[in-house]
Structure 1
Amino acid sequence: MRSQSDSLFQNAGRLAAVVVMATVTCATSVHADEKEAKSLLKAMSDYMAAQETISFEYDTNLEVVTKQQQKLALASSGAVKINRPDKLHVTRQGGFANVEIVFDGKTLSFLGKDANLYAQAEVPGTTDNLIDTLRDKFNRPLPAGDMLISHPYDALMSEVVDVKDLGSGVIRGEECDHLAFRTKEGVDWQIWIAQGQNPYPCRYVVTSTKVKGFPQYTIDVRSWKAGADAAAGDFNFKAPDGAKKRDLKDLPDADELPEIFSMK
C-alpha cells in the first residue's frame, strides 16, 4: 500500500505537469497572437504605402483631465487628401477653430477660416517630411499622420514592447481586426483595421498611461478612398479676400484648449 506521502508527491507531480503544460500552451498562444497582430499591421502598412492617392473623412476626440480629475473632450471633424509624393490638403473643424492646411511640395499654407488669418512657410520635400515638420517644428501634428507616411509599420512599432491580437470588431458596419500595443514610453495604442482587400485603419486610439485619468486621443476614419476612387484634390492655396497674413504660431488650432476647458 502506498503511503500518504507517496500520494501527495504523485498529486504534486501531476499538478506541476498541468501547470507546465498550461504555461507552455499560454506562451505559444501569446506568441501566435503577437505574430498574427504584427502580420496584420504590416499588411495595413504595405497597403497604405502602396497608395499614391488617398482621400478620407475623419472624426477625432481629444481627452483632457482637469486637476479635479474631470475628464473632458474636444471633438473635431475634417477631411484629408494626399497625392504622393508631395501634395496634401487637410481640413479640420472643431468647436472653437476651423482650419485648413495646403501643401504643394514647396510651400505649407495654413488658414484659420473663422479668424480669416493665414500663414505660410517654405517646407520643400515630400509629405513625409511635411508630417514630421508639422509635428516637430510647428507643434501641429497631422490627424492620422502616423498612417500617412511611407512606412507606417516602422514608425508605429519603434517603441512597442507588447502586442495583442484582440480578434474582430465592427466600426460603422465595417468588420475590422482589432490590435493592441504597449510602448516603453507610457503610451498604449489600439487600431482597428478593415478586413479584406483594402486594409485601411478604421479607428486609431492612443492612451497616455503616465497621465492620471488615462486620457485618450481617438480618430475614426470614414469615406475611405484610394487610387482611382480617391476624391480629386486641389493643392493650390489662394488666400480668401480680406485674409491677413500672420506668423504660424499666432493662428488657432482645432484642438487648442479654450477657456471653458480650464484646467484649474
Structure 2
Amino acid sequence: MVITAENGCSAGFSVIAGALVIACGLAVSPASAQQIEPEADKILRSMADYVAGLKTFTVNYDADSEVVDTEGQKLQYSASGSVAIERPGKMHVSRKGTFVDAELTFDGKTISFYGKKANVYGQLESPGPTIDEAVEEVRAGTGFDASGADLFAADPYAVLTEDATKGVHVGTGLVGGVECDHLAFRNPRVDWQIWVQKGEQPLPLKYVITTKWVTGAPQYAVRLSDWNVAPQIDQAQFTFTAPEGATKLEQISTDEIGELSAEGVQ
C-alpha cells in the first residue's frame, strides 16, 4: 500500500494506495478466456499464483500518483517506501517523500495509521484477521480506493481480472534492467499495465493504472524493487504502539484529491 503523510504544520495525514498499499478487496468474477489472450492470461496467472503463495515477503517501491486540479492541470506526487507482509494477517507499510513520513500497521486486529511529522495516529478495527478484510474495512469506513493494493491480495488474479474486457501480451520490456513480460488490460473504468519479471520468480516489477473517464486521464504508477521472498521479519514491525505525546485522531476520511486523510481536533 502506498501511504502519504501529513504536512508537518497540521495534525493530519493521508494514505495513497498505491503501493502500494497494500492488500486489496475481494473480487468475485474473473474475466472470461475469450476476453484475454492466452499468453497474457498464462503470464498473469503465473505472477498471481507466485505472489499469493508467498507466506512472507518484503519489497521496496517508488510511486507516482497524478491528480487533476480544478483548472485542469495535471499534478504528480512522488514518494518511496517499503512493504512487509506475513500472510494471512500482518503487514507494515512505510512511505516517505518531501512532505511525507508515514506508516500503516496491521496486526491481525487493528489497522493503525501514523503520521510522524505531526506525531498523530488513527485506528480502525478490522472485521476479520486477514489483510484483505482489513483493506475492505479501510475502503468501507473511509471511501478510499487503494489503487495498487490488488497485487498483494490473497487472490490477485481474481481481483486484477474482475470486469476485464481485454488483455494482451504487449511484448518484452526492461524495468530496472530486468527483462519482463509487458501485459496490458482494460475494464470499463480503467486501463492498466503490468510488467512481470521473466524466469522462475514471476514477480511484478511495475504497475500502471490509467483512469479513463476522469479529465486528463490521471495515472498511478508504482515500481517494485528489492523483493525478498524469504525474509526474516522482526515481528515488532507488525505491532503499533503510539509514541509518547502522540495525538489520536477522531476521523479518517477521503479528501478532495482522493487521499485517505485523518483529521484531529486541535
Specify if TM > 0.5.
yes
Paired residue for 1:135? Answer: 139
Q: For the structure 1 residues 76 and 139, does the alpha-carbon distance in structure 2 shift closer, same or farther, using more than 3 Å as the test?
A: farther
How far did residue 137 of structure 1 move?
2.2
Q: Distance in 1 between matches of 2:49 and 2:199?
A: 14
5+ residue gaps in structure 2?
Answer: 1-33, 261-266
Q: Does 1:113 align with 2:129?
A: no
Amino acid at match of 2:177: G
Q: How far did 1:148 drift? A: 0.8
Q: What SS does structure 2 have at the residue aligned with 1:147? A: helix
Aligned length: 226
Cα deviations by residue, 1:166-190 (Å, 9 ceiling, x for unpaired): 1111111111100001102x31000
Is 1:172 equivalent to 2:142 in the alignment? no
- 1:90 corresponds, among 90, 93, 108, to 93
1: CA distance between counterparts of 2:105 and 2:133? 14
Q: Which has the higher contact order (CA 8 A, sep 6+)?
A: 2
Provide the C-alpha distance between the structure 2 equivalents of 1:66 and 1:32, rounded to a whole number of angstroms. Answer: 35
The answer to whether the Cα contact below 8 Å between 1:58 and 1:219 also exists between their aligned partners in 2 is yes
Are 1:222 and 2:225 an aligned pair? yes
Residue 51 in structure 1 maps to residue 57 in structure 2: no
What is the CA–CA distance in structure 1 between the aligned matches of 2:197 and 2:217, rounded to whole Å?
26
1:215-260 CA-to-partner distances (Å, cap 9, x unmatched) read 101011111111x2465452111111211111242799x9849xxx
Aligned equivalents of 2:254 and 2:217: distance in 1? 29
1:63 aligns with 2:66: yes
Counterpart of 1:129, as a letter, is: E
Among 162, 165, 169, which residue is 1:161 paired with? 165
- C-alpha displacement at 1:128, in angstroms? 1.2
What is the CA-CA distance between 1:131 and the residue it aligns to? 1.9
How many Å apart are 1:65 and its aligned residue?
Answer: 2.0
| 2:214 maps to 1:211 | yes
Write the deviation string for residues 121-162 of structure 1: whole angstroms up to 9, x where unpaired. 221420111122223323445563101111100111011101
CA contact (8 A) 1:100 1:111 kept: yes
- Residue in structure 1 matched with residue 42 of structure 2 by the alignment: 39
Larger Rg: 1
Cα distance in 2, alignment partners of residues 256 and 48 from structure 1:
26
Aligned CA RMSD, in angstroms, stands at 2.7
Determine the structure 2 residue equivalent to 1:27.
none
* CA 165–117 in structure 1, closer or farther in 2 if over 3 Å, else same: same
Task: Name the counterpart of 1:238.
Answer: 241
Q: Which amino acid aligns with 1:207?
A: T
1:69-88 matched pairs, under 5 angstroms: 69-88=72-91
| Alpha-carbon contact 1:188-1:209 (below 8 Å) kept | yes
Query: Following the alignment from structure 1 to structure 2, what is the Cα–Cα distance between the partners of residues 173 and 130?
Result: 35
Q: Percent identity?
A: 40
Partners in 2 of 1:150 and 1:43 — Cα distance?
Answer: 14
**Contact residue 164 and residue 179 of structure 1 kept, 8 A:** yes
Instruction: Tell me: CA distance 1:32–1:104, structure 2 relative to 1, closer, same or farther (3 Å).
Output: closer
Q: CA deviation at 1:48?
A: 0.8
Q: Distance in 1 between matches of 2:35 and 2:139?
A: 35
TM-score normalised to structure 1 length: 0.78
Task: Decide whether the 8 Å contact of 1:160 with 1:181 is kept in 2.
Answer: yes
CA distance 1:205–1:56, shift in 2 (3 Å)? same
For 1:100, the aligned partner's letter is: E
Could you say if the C-alpha distance between residues 96 and 64 of structure 1 is closer, same or farther in structure 2, counting changes exceeding 3 Å? same
Q: Compared with structure 1, are the counterparts of its residues 136 and 94 closer, same or farther at alpha carbon in structure 2 (3 Å cutoff)?
A: farther
* CA–CA distance in structure 2, aligned partners of residues 242 and 154 of structure 1: 43
